[in-house]
Amino acid sequence: MPRMNVKPSKRNFNKKQTLKRLLGYVFKTYPIRFTIICICILIAAVGAISASIFMPQFINLMYEGIEHNIGVASSVGFDAIKDKLIGLSIALGSVYIASIIATTLYNQLLCTVTQGFLYRLRMDMFKKMEKLPISYFDRNPHGEIMSTYTNDVDAIRQLISQSIPQFVQTMITVTLLFGVMMYYSLWLTLAVIVAIVFIFQVTKKIGGGSAKYFIKQQKSIAECEGFIEEMMNGQKVVKVFNHEEKSKADFAKLNDQLNNDSYKANAYANMLGPIIHNIGNVLYVIVAIIGVVLVVNNVPNFSLRGFGTFSDVKFRLLPASSEMGVALSIGIAVAYLGMARQFANSFNQVSMQLNSVVMGLAGADRIFELLDQKPEEDNGYVTLVNAIIDEKGNITESDEKTGKWAWKHPHENGTITYTELKGDIRLFDVDFGYFPEKIVLHNVSIYAKPGQKIAFVGATGAGKTTITNLINRFYDIADGKIRYDGININKIKKADLRRSIGIVLQETNLFTGTVMENIRYGRLDASDEEVINAAKTANAYDFITRLPDGFNTMLTGNGSQLSQGQRQLLSIARAELADTPVMILDEATSSIDTRTEALVGKGMDSLMRGRTVFVIAHRLSTVQDSNAIMVLDHGSIIERGDHDDLIKQHGVYYQLYTGAFELE
């Protein structure tokens, strides 16, 4: 079946909803630890501005101490000043210690939370992927799906472990710092507010452009990886047809797009930091100038408090007067410079995290798009059970393996009937299309009795493989009916339906593992002896025993160290081990040479004996002994009958057999 080159519909990327869902996902995974992390981040943020809170008091007290030493009148004695300095030092030290403990704790907890969350996320992604219909993998390049597991998951790792905690801590720091600045001087804060306006405008303009291209960069990376994965799988074809230059040209287009998106994303990102940093430098100079003017000219200071010691704080939004307080003090002016610098640096840190946040959210959105895919529907309720069948044909269910199987069919009235699994499959007037507007099978009817061999012959795209995909419900029919042992297959649970159907595909898939494990894939509870017997039946035993480690030989790269024929023999052995009443052979011997095909012949005969078999073949010699041969053309059965009947008809099959024309 050809790949359906249709991209899935893309939903709009909503950053707020994605962030809310992501944080909810993390909280659901580790609710207690996540709460502790949030509290620790708050404590760390308070610690970050503690110097700004205490510094004015230190400077003012030290200034009073200097005045006391030089004999200038002071409102408090030297011992009182010393005691207050010691108290402030202890308080500041305590805050710093708490901040260090909180920072250490939340960083350690973040390691556990992040890795645990990613573990669960990958598990959920893989579980969901296993539930998706085959059509999803037809629509999406495998490399792009892999990019979701690698690039997007890594972007989320950085988002959870670094970007969000730093972003939140910095935003809390900025908020608290702004409050402290207003608390000490509204005049100086006005300059900060003007700077904030500039920073927000710059961030909106440049940061927005950066975020847009970082999102595009994520998509471009996925497309590049999808193309690379496709080229790696098809390297032999590329080299055989001297397609290297065209492949390089195609990749160059994708790589150019990735380069362009990455360049623009990083160009915007690299501009944002220096611009905000220099706005901070300008703010520092402006605050210094304003502070000097206010102190030198003894300008009344607007603030949220009176500038005395902590014991005589007076909250107000009034200019300080001789009755209500003093003008801006040197301690406040000097400390405010540090606050302005820290405030600007905090905004710079926020801007540096914005890109990572956007990339992480874009990755999370792609992952949630996978998790939100509609799973393969299964409304079946008829199951396959071990059965005991007596001489009269009565069927009872068994908890132990009996070698006999039956369909367990519960009914609405509460009764349960059992139907012996025989392998009787019939299609009645079936229509099907991969898309509703394009029907590819038209009015197909097939009757396969238990033990019969049904063959499909026709040109590529005639619908042969599509019919077998409908039998195991990889796709659901548009119209008509398919019955299995008299039961509508829509009523049978898909897992049980597929457990009763073995399949040998033209493209063999072997997994990383031993030869023994690859054959056992057909039935995981099979013993070593049963695996060996299946290999003997498929005539794979001889070549397996000649491998370096026999059945324990490790296979990698889809069994690349084996010949195509050997790989197919293992696939046949796997199907034999499954021991199903129905077998689908989709061009199973097309990739096997004539000599190997002769060796496989006896094994194939044993494999098919007593089973209902559907065979798709281009070699007519492999289907001559079929009970019925269906000749398909453009999704319709144009001829049917056994070999002799079709030869007598002198139709399409006759012309194929005599070589009048060939399948294309």
> Higher confidence at residue 146 or residue 351?
146
**Does the pTM exceed 0.85?**
no
Report the first-to-last Cα separation within the chain, whole angstroms: 15
308 confidence band (pLDDT: 50, 70, 90)? very low
User: Tokens 């009176």 belong to which residue?
Assistant: 306
Query: In the predicted model, is pLDDT for residue 664 greater than 70?
Result: no
Is the Cβ–Cβ distance between 453 and 608 less than 8 Å? Answer: yes
Query: In the predicted model, is pLDDT for residue 7 greater than 80?
Result: no
Taking only the tens place, the pLDDT of each residue in 213-228 is 777 887 788 788 778 8
Rounded Cα gap, residues 57 and 331, in angstroms: 7
Rounded Cα gap, residues 186 and 319, in angstroms: 10
pLDDT value, residue 590: 62
* Residues in a beta bridge with 514: 554
Contacts for 98 with CB less than 8 Å, ≥ 6 apart:
43, 47
Q: Average pLDDT, stretch 273-286?
A: 77
Query: In the numeric block, which tokens belong to residue 159?
Result: 């988002």
Backbone phi and psi for residue 201, each to the nearest 5 degrees, phi listed first:
-65, -45
Query: In the predicted model, is pLDDT for residue 158 greater than 80?
Result: yes
Taking only the tens place, the pLDDT of each residue in 104-155 is 998 889 888 998 899 999 999 999 988 888 888 888 878 788 888 888 898 8
Is the Cβ–Cβ distance between 218 and 366 less than 8 Å? Answer: yes
pLDDT value, residue 62: 67
493 confidence band (pLDDT: 50, 70, 90)? very high
Query: In the predicted model, is pLDDT for residue 9 greater than 50?
Result: no
pLDDT value, residue 416: 92
Q: Average pLDDT, stretch 42-47?
A: 86
The fraction of the chain above a pLDDT of 70, given in percent, is 83
Range with the poorest average pLDDT among 39-53, 109-123, 516-530: 39-53
- The dihedral built from the CA positions of residue 245, 251, 257 and 259, taken in this order, carries a sign that is negative
Query: In the predicted model, is pLDDT for residue 364 greater than 60?
Result: yes
Is the Cβ–Cβ distance between 407 and 419 less than 8 Å? Answer: yes
The chain-wide mean pLDDT, for the chain, equals: 80
> Higher confidence at residue 306 or residue 16?
16
CATH superfamily of 15-371: ABC transporter type 1, transmembrane domain (1.20.1560.10)
Rounded Cα gap, residues 93 and 91, in angstroms: 5
Taking only the tens place, the pLDDT of each residue in 537-581 is 888 888 899 999 999 999 887 787 888 788 888 888 888 888 888
**Would 15-371 and 452-464+498-658 be classified into the same CATH topology?**
no
pLDDT value, residue 451: 87
> Higher confidence at residue 207 or residue 484?
484
Is the Cβ–Cβ distance between 110 and 161 less than 8 Å? Answer: yes
The CATH number of 452-464+498-658 is 3.40.50.300
> Higher confidence at residue 562 or residue 7?
562
User: Tokens 């990886």 belong to which residue?
Assistant: 225
Q: Which of 275, 99, 98, 261 is nearest to 203 (CA)?
A: 275
pLDDT value, residue 324: 37
User: Tokens 């991969």 belong to which residue?
Assistant: 434
**Long-range contact set of residues 648-653: C-beta below 8 Å, sequence gap at least 24:** 653/457, 653/620, 653/629
**Strand-strand pairing, 479-484 and 425-432:** antiparallel
Q: Average pLDDT, stretch 341-345?
A: 79
Q: Average pLDDT, stretch 202-222?
A: 74
pLDDT value, residue 319: 38
Name the CA radius of gyration of the chain, rounded. 38
Rounded Cα gap, residues 641 and 626, in angstroms: 9
DSSP 352: H
Query: In the predicted model, is pLDDT for residue 452 greater than 50?
Result: yes
Taking only the tens place, the pLDDT of each residue in 243-261 is 778 788 888 888 888 888 8
DSSP 506: S
Rounded Cα gap, residues 448 and 627, in angstroms: 9
Query: In the numeric block, which tokens belong to residue 597?
Result: 């095909």
Query: In the predicted model, is pLDDT for residue 4 greater than 60?
Result: no
Rounded Cα gap, residues 576 and 570, in angstroms: 10
Every domain of the chain and the residues it spans: 15-371, 452-464+498-658
303 confidence band (pLDDT: 50, 70, 90)? low
Query: In the numeric block, which tokens belong to residue 514?
Result: 């031993």
Is the Cβ–Cβ distance between 93 and 337 less than 8 Å? Answer: no
pLDDT value, residue 445: 93
| Max Cα–Cα distance, the chain, nearest Å | 129
Residue type, 304: L
Rounded Cα gap, residues 560 and 568, in angstroms: 12
Say whether 634 sits in a helix, a strand or coil.
coil
Rounded Cα gap, residues 176 and 155, in angstroms: 29
Rounded Cα gap, residues 653 and 631, in angstroms: 7
Q: What H or E segment, with its residue span, contains residue 177? A: helix 164-184
Rounded Cα gap, residues 468 and 473, in angstroms: 9
> Higher confidence at residue 459 or residue 473?
473
Contacts for 151 with CB less than 8 Å, ≥ 6 apart:
218, 221, 222, 225, 363
Determine the Cα angle at 382 with ends 381 and 387, to 5°.
140
**Strand-strand pairing, 612-616 and 453-458:** parallel
Length of the chain: 664
